[in-house]
Structure 1
């Protein structure tokens, strides 16, 4: 199941459980994990992109190790909310991962900006920020999604 509807995604996961957030880029995939109660999201590992089958295997291993039951994938929309070429790429990535778990596509328009501000506030060097930005963006995406999911009535 792939959806942009938080209520539909929540209905697919009536028991809750850990979720993984993904910020899918061309060179890396930033990941974040949340607790089973959907309270908080935190950055996880950065996956360097290679071939899709290898990327999917790395994500599957992480999901198994962390007992993940659902994916939240950032959907990069244009500022006016319309689809972009990157949106199509993220949708294709989601379709290729559809056999792993239910998937929620989540609007990520401001996630990188918010992550950048948080890392600047930590007084981190530019090089360190560049290393960590994708994982922090994934955490922002996942936190936004779980905040919406807990407000949806089961």
Structure 2
């Protein structure tokens, strides 16, 4: 059996260190999907992303924020909207995005915004901005969003099928 020399050991160590740091990065599957969609957009018009192509399976998702279900702050209220048991409370300025598949939570995104100092809160790298025309939840047939990038953050605006 041949032993590693110092050069090979260094290469393997750097590779493993890189692999570990990637797993602990601040992005997730959802963020990476949206950012890649934006980076591969080669149009002078608006860039869009269809969330039906996310790297995980889902059939419905809900967004809880100050503009979308602001009344749902307790786990009981969230459970009632989702139609399944949910175990966490949120506050008014928090952002909660829950993806379901066949009535089970398959993916969840949560950001806790500091209600006393929103400017210094940790923003989501990719966030949703919904107007009053947005549906109460999104399914595979209405999951197309316009992507806009500002100051290193990505915003998804719902694109209604009119």
Select the structure of larger CA radius of gyration: 2
Higher relative contact order (CA 8 A, sep 6+): 1
Task: State whether TM-score is above 0.5.
Answer: no
Structure-1-length-normalised TM-score: 0.29
Structure whose residues are more often helix by fraction: 1
